[in-house]
Amino acid sequence: MLPQAPQPGSRTFSIELAYEGSGFLGWQIQAMGRTVQGELRAACERILAQPLNVSGAGRTDTGVHARASLCSFPALSARRADELWRGLRRILPPDIHVRRVDERAAGFNARFSARAREYGYRLVRGLDPFRRRLAWCSSYHLDVETMRAELAALSGRRDCRGFCVTSSLPPQAWCDFQLVELEERGDELLLRVRCDRFLHSMVRSLAGTLHDVGRGRLEPGALERVLRTGERAQCGVVAPPQGLYLERVVYEEFSTGGPEGWSRLEDGENPQRLTE
């Protein structure tokens, strides 16, 4: 769906936010159930007293989290960015955190203006009831070096149709891989992937296939085979949603994930005060 054209005299706001996705049916508003877009739109409409069309940079699925996502909307309002920031901090539920609010140039759209997105997938080696809603806790022994060697396939522009849910496959499925790495942090592994675009369930399919290579269920070279053949049947399991995080969104002049706080500070105002 193309973005709605702003009305003459309207201003465009962007909201950078983080959310813990366990209690949501994903980002996008559904006919039934709680969503991040639904909560945020209701709060913005309450503050600005008008109906709004809120566009999000990442349409995360049920149970998926975000550390620094972005949404935007045009509004006919005299409210300032700092007023909206403070109002949202006051009335939004605790599993949504507004990091900052900015006013953008006319025509800016959080989804269509994005140049790249970065996702992280968090995998815990071992069963941990305290982290089970925030990571994939796997009981298998994983060969980390073999998993790292697999990542060589994820370089440059590749056809990723084999990693997309078949029912959501777009007409063309080329993705430009800008960053791929596997970090080891104690008993945790963090897969980080940055692309110009992502397909439905792409990162979870990548993470699940990588996991199955690491545990020995799939032969090394599985990622390259899926990319070469485009056959989804060559993938491993689809990793569960709770390990996936939208880490940042990259735009032409800025990216999300920087210092928190309302960005348009008055001269002499202490930025720390705005994040208390």
pLDDT > 50? residue 275: no
Domain boundary, last residue among 58, 83, 113: 113
pLDDT > 70? residue 6: no
Decide: pTM greater than 0.75: yes
Residue 120 counted as domain residue:
yes
Same domain, 147 and 190: yes
CA–CA separation, 263 and 64 (whole Å): 27
| Model confidence pLDDT, tens digit, residues 15-59 | 999 999 999 999 999 999 999 999 999 999 999 999 999 999 999
pLDDT at 10: 84
- CATH for 36: 3.30.70.580
Q: Taking the mean position of all CA atoms in its chain, how far away is CA 166?
A: 21
SS3 217: coil
For range 231-258, the mean pLDDT: 96
Handedness of CA 41, 22, 99, 270 (dihedral sign): positive
Domain boundary, last residue among 87, 113, 139: 113
Q: Where are the beta strands (DSSP E) in the chain?
A: 11-19, 55-56, 65-75, 96-104, 116-125, 136-138, 156-159, 174-185, 188-195, 244-250
Residue 262 counted as domain residue:
no
Residue 30 backbone dihedrals phi, psi, to 5 degrees: -115, 165
Handedness of CA 90, 14, 70, 22 (dihedral sign): positive
* β-strand pairing of 244-250 with 65-75: parallel
Residue 36 counted as domain residue:
yes
Same domain, 64 and 129: no
pLDDT at 198: 97
- CATH for 187: 3.30.70.660
Same domain, 108 and 196: no
Same domain, 127 and 243: yes
Residue 47 backbone dihedrals phi, psi, to 5 degrees: -75, -45
Domain that holds residue 204: 116-249
Q: How confident is the model at residue 262 (pLDDT cuts 50, 70, 90)?
A: low
Tell me if residue 61 is catalytic: yes
Domain boundary, last residue among 89, 113, 137: 113
pLDDT > 50? residue 12: yes
| Catalytic-role residue among 61, 82, 143, 159 | 61
Q: How confident is the model at residue 187 (pLDDT cuts 50, 70, 90)?
A: very high
